[in-house]
Structure 1
Amino acid sequence: MSSSLQTLLAEPQLAQQLLSEAQTRGFVTAMAAAPYLIDPSEWLAFMWGGEETSPFASHEELEAYANAIVDLWNASREALLTGTWQWPEGCALDDKELVTPDTREFAEGLLQGWQLARDDWETVMPQESENNALLGGVLLCFSLLYDPESAMEALAQEGADNLAQFEEIFQSVPTMLCGLTLRAQDLVDNDAE
């Protein structure tokens, strides 16, 4: 994440109105993974709760924020399509809380962003298709990471070694998310031909 974006997100008057850094990364990653490109002008306002008026004091500040978000989107999209996307710094497992707050917030932001692209995902990977299982698996992983306590209960009911299983889920996310993005891109490209 660029230092200018980190600076904007750290400003006290903006920090309360904008998604946190981890939520921002998650949301932008969801937009970068979407099967069809969605113009940032269509989703940028969701970064401050969907309000019509932005929380920025000046047009220059808004422009700097928008440019930093687009740069983050470009970097995320490239990493997803080249299979090199990794968890952002701060996202990790935690002995005490299962996941760090950044991991939980990243998952929350990604799930929020997914809602905006949901129709596109359902068009490309309809419910009865085998591709839908891949999409469902990725969404399930992020849901579990967003609410790890419930995940641990569910894993315990299944008789799984919950901590090892949970660690495996966390470790598999980059591969699954890159694979999902690449599969969706293939489907979109084949559909266009």
Structure 2
Amino acid sequence: MQVSLTQFMTDNDLENQLLSEMQTKGFVTAMAAAPYMIDPSEWLAFMWGGEEESPFSSHEQLEQYANIIVNLWNEQRGALLSAEWQWPEGCALSDTDIVTADTRLYCEGLLQGWTLARDDWEILMPEDSQESALLGGVLLSISLLFDPEAALPTLEAQGAAELAQFEEIFKGMPVMLCGLTQRAAQLVEEA
């Protein structure tokens, strides 16, 4: 039986030594959306802050964690390529804070993951390409959802109704992220 990420972290008392569950899910989603597969051995250490020494007490514990992460990557990659990706449970809009804390953490993880694949994205979708607008739109949307308070003055200056704008961005993210992943996969295949 596969242990969930949350259960693994709780059972092994690793909640304060690894990225949170939502940050991890966002990070892994960014890795799953990347145009070229980056071997998890190259980015797994980011899950514990990039430190050389992992927080695990045994090789078996590290292996179990790595298997959970790889399974999550496989799930996310499949969902993105089949246009079935959806926000994880807990990610939502909020009447008081625009977005929930889980949404912010998920977006934070997504942005952290994007930085690792940034060169691949920029080579595949250079600034002067048609695809660059798609990539830029997705990144801007993720950034807005990560820090909506910082975005409010800009949106208000453009005359956008603040919460309605965030609702549109939030609801549109599955289509945008799946579309970006699918287009990147197509471009890689054509290359």
- Band of TM-score, shorter chain: over 0.9
* Cα displacement (A) at 1:151: 1.7
**Corresponding residue of 2:81:** 81
Q: Please tell me whether the aligned partners of residues 23 and 107 of structure 1 are also in contact (alpha carbons under 8 angstroms).
A: yes
Give the RMSD, CA atoms, in angstroms: 1.1
**Corresponding residue of 1:154:** 154
* Cα displacement (A) at 1:4: 3.3
**Corresponding residue of 1:101:** 101
Q: What amino acid is aligned across from residue 118 of structure 1 in structure 2?
A: R
Q: What amino acid is aligned across from residue 8 of structure 1 in structure 2?
A: F
**Corresponding residue of 1:37:** 37
* Cα displacement (A) at 1:10: 2.7
Q: What amino acid is aligned across from residue 87 of structure 2 in structure 1?
A: W
**Corresponding residue of 2:140:** 140
Q: TM-score, normalised by structure 1?
A: 0.95
Moved more, 100-109 or 149-158: 149-158
Moved more, 156-165 or 70-79: 156-165
For residues 112-191 of structure 1, the aligned pairs below 5 Å read: 112-191=112-191
Provide the rounded CA distance (Å) in 2 between the counterparts of 1:83 and 1:186: 14
Q: Please tell me whether the aligned partners of residues 152 and 163 of structure 1 are also in contact (alpha carbons under 8 angstroms).
A: no
Moved more, 144-153 or 84-93: 144-153
Provide the rounded CA distance (Å) in 1 between the counterparts of 2:151 and 2:87: 20
For residues 44-59 of structure 1, the aligned pairs below 5 Å read: 44-59=44-59
Q: Please tell me whether the aligned partners of residues 124 and 187 of structure 1 are also in contact (alpha carbons under 8 angstroms).
A: yes
**Corresponding residue of 2:22:** 22
Question: What is the SS of the residue equivalent to 1:159?
Answer: coil
Provide the rounded CA distance (Å) in 1 between the counterparts of 2:63 and 2:13: 17
Provide the rounded CA distance (Å) in 2 between the counterparts of 1:70 and 1:12: 19
**Corresponding residue of 1:10:** 10
Q: What amino acid is aligned across from residue 36 of structure 2 in structure 1?
A: Y
* Cα displacement (A) at 1:12: 7.3
Q: Percent identity?
A: 66
Q: What amino acid is aligned across from residue 20 of structure 1 in structure 2?
A: S
Provide the rounded CA distance (Å) in 2 between the counterparts of 1:73 and 1:144: 24
Q: What amino acid is aligned across from residue 168 of structure 1 in structure 2?
A: E
Provide the rounded CA distance (Å) in 2 between the counterparts of 1:83 and 1:59: 36
* Cα displacement (A) at 1:59: 1.0
Q: Please tell me whether the aligned partners of residues 125 and 131 of structure 2 are also in contact (alpha carbons under 8 angstroms).
A: yes
Deviation per CA, 1:2-27, whole angstroms, max 9, x where unpaired? 64321122357411110000000000
Q: TM-score, normalised by structure 2?
A: 0.96
Q: Please tell me whether the aligned partners of residues 3 and 68 of structure 2 are also in contact (alpha carbons under 8 angstroms).
A: no
Q: Please tell me whether the aligned partners of residues 155 and 162 of structure 1 are also in contact (alpha carbons under 8 angstroms).
A: yes
Q: What amino acid is aligned across from residue 162 of structure 1 in structure 2?
A: E
Residues 1:66 and 2:70 are matched in the alignment:
no
Unpaired runs of at least 5, structure 1: none
* Cα displacement (A) at 1:165: 1.0
Equivalenced residues, count: 190
